[in-house]
């Protein structure tokens, strides 16, 4: 029986990489990377020199067999994504399911993820939350937003910077404009910011900017929440 390690990597700040993560990556036989070039920078920075292979959303169905062949041959594999926790809006789930089904050990080395970092920074309730990840771009998007508007839990949405204004406009339409929310941008990085306010206020703020850049998480208070 071999071990598949799911290893969280920094979401921006390299100092967030844990000593245990480095230890595990130095011990495994192979590292499956979402993008071998992106991860190459991280691995070099930490002096990790192991064979890598690519494992991303477009090849994971094909590559999962390669990964489990390695495990079946008695070797250990670590899976890392470009940033944060593999499996969270990133490849990971398929590999974990297949490794479990084949009775290999799956060990998760926890670490940063943008969702819970943004949630805690939002100053909105963290006791119950729903992780939505990326909303569908077209089909089903409006229906999903309508359902989310009724949820009493705090909502976590991943969004790209060029769609932020569109998303805030949609939330304004489906939710009450006075609903509290937060936009967390560039977490753990040099230009980290968390802007809090009503959906209305956030929309006005980001509309006034010349450009919106960086990585973004939108947090929206659950229905019925008020301070
Ligand atoms: N696996 C990652 C995690 O654990 O959070 C998420 C990967 S997903 C492909 C990338 C999205 O995560 C970005 O579009 C953004 O919504 C969010 N994200 C990642 N890093 C971030 C950061 N430093 N600040 C804000 N959002 C971030």
The atom number, within ligand 1, closest to the CA of 114 reads 5
Q: What percent of the chain has pLDDT over 90?
A: 98
- Taking alpha carbons only, the member of 182, 175, 171, 173 closest to residue 227 is 182
CA dihedral 219, 223, 224, 225 (to 10 degrees): -10
Give the pLDDT score at 204.
Answer: 97
Give the pLDDT score at 68.
Answer: 98
CA atoms within 13 Å, Cβ hemisphere of 107: 14
Kindly report the average pLDDT of the chain as a whole number: 97
Give the pLDDT score at 6.
Answer: 98
Judge contact between 115 and 156, C-beta under 8 A.
Answer: yes
Looking at the predicted structure, is the pLDDT value of residue 167 above 90? yes
In the block, tokens 């245990």 appear at 20
Q: Which residues line ligand 1 (CB under 6 A)?
A: 11-12, 81, 83-85, 88-90, 113-115, 158-160, 184-189, 215-217
Give the pLDDT score at 177.
Answer: 85
The atom number, within ligand 1, closest to the CA of 188 reads 23
| Closest residue CA from atom 11 of ligand 1 | 158
| Closest residue CA from atom 8 of ligand 1 | 89
Note the pLDDT tens digit of each residue in 175-195: 998 999 999 999 999 999 999
199-225 average pLDDT score: 97
Cα of 63 from ligand 1 centre, angstroms: 23
The atom number, within ligand 1, closest to the CA of 12 reads 23
Domains and CATH numbers, the chain: 3-109 (3.40.1010.10), 114-220 (3.30.950.10)
Top mutation candidate among 81, 86, 118, 158 for ligand 1, by most atoms within 8 Å of CB: 158
Looking at the predicted structure, is the pLDDT value of residue 217 above 90? yes
Cα of 131 from ligand 1 centre, angstroms: 12
The atom number, within ligand 1, closest to the CA of 112 reads 4
Top mutation candidate among 7, 11, 164, 220 for ligand 1, by most atoms within 8 Å of CB: 11
Give the pLDDT score at 227.
Answer: 87
Note the pLDDT tens digit of each residue in 51-74: 999 999 999 999 999 999 999 999
Give the pLDDT score at 105.
Answer: 98
Give the pLDDT score at 175.
Answer: 96
Give the pLDDT score at 155.
Answer: 98
Neighbours of 121 (CB within 10 A): 17
Judge contact between 158 and 134, C-beta under 8 A.
Answer: yes
Judge contact between 76 and 5, C-beta under 8 A.
Answer: yes
Judge contact between 8 and 86, C-beta under 8 A.
Answer: yes
User: Cα(50)–Cα(137) distance, rounded to whole angstroms?
Assistant: 37
Radius of gyration of the chain (CA): 19
Give the pLDDT score at 223.
Answer: 97
Strands across the sheet containing 129-134: 129-134, 154-159, 216-220, 180-185, 193-198
pLDDT grade for 20, boundaries at 50, 70 and 90: very high
Cα of 142 from ligand 1 centre, angstroms: 22
Give the pLDDT score at 3.
Answer: 98
């Amino acid at each position: 029986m071999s071990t598949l390690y799911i290893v969280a990597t920094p979401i921006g700040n390299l100092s967030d990489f844990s000593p245990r993560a480095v230890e595990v990556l130095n011990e495994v036989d192979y590292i499956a990377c979402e993008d071998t070039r992106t991860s190459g920078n991280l691995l070099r920075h930490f002096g990790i020199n192991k064979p890598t292979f690519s494992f991303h959303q477009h090849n994971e169905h094909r590559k999962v067999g390669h990964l489990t062949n390695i495990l079946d041959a008695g070797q250990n594999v670590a899976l890392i994504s470009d940033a944060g926790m593999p499996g969270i809006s990133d490849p990971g789930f398929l590999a974990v399911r297949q490794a479990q089904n084949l009775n290999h050990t799956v060990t998760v080395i926890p670490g940063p993820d943008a969702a819970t970092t943004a949630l805690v920074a939002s100053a909105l309730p963290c006791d119950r939350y729903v992780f939505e990840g990326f909303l569908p771009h077209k089909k089903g998007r409006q229906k999903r937003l309508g359902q989310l508007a009724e949820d009493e839990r705090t909502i976590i949405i991943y969004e790209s910077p060029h769609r932020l204004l569109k998303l805030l406009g949609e939330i304004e339409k489906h939710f009450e404009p006075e609903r509290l929310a937060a936009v967390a941008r560039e977490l753990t990085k040099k230009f980290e910011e968390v802007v809090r306010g009503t959906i209305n206020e956030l929309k006005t703020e980001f509309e006034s900017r010349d450009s919106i850049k960086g990585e973004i998480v939108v947090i929206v208070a659950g229905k019925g929440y008020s301070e």
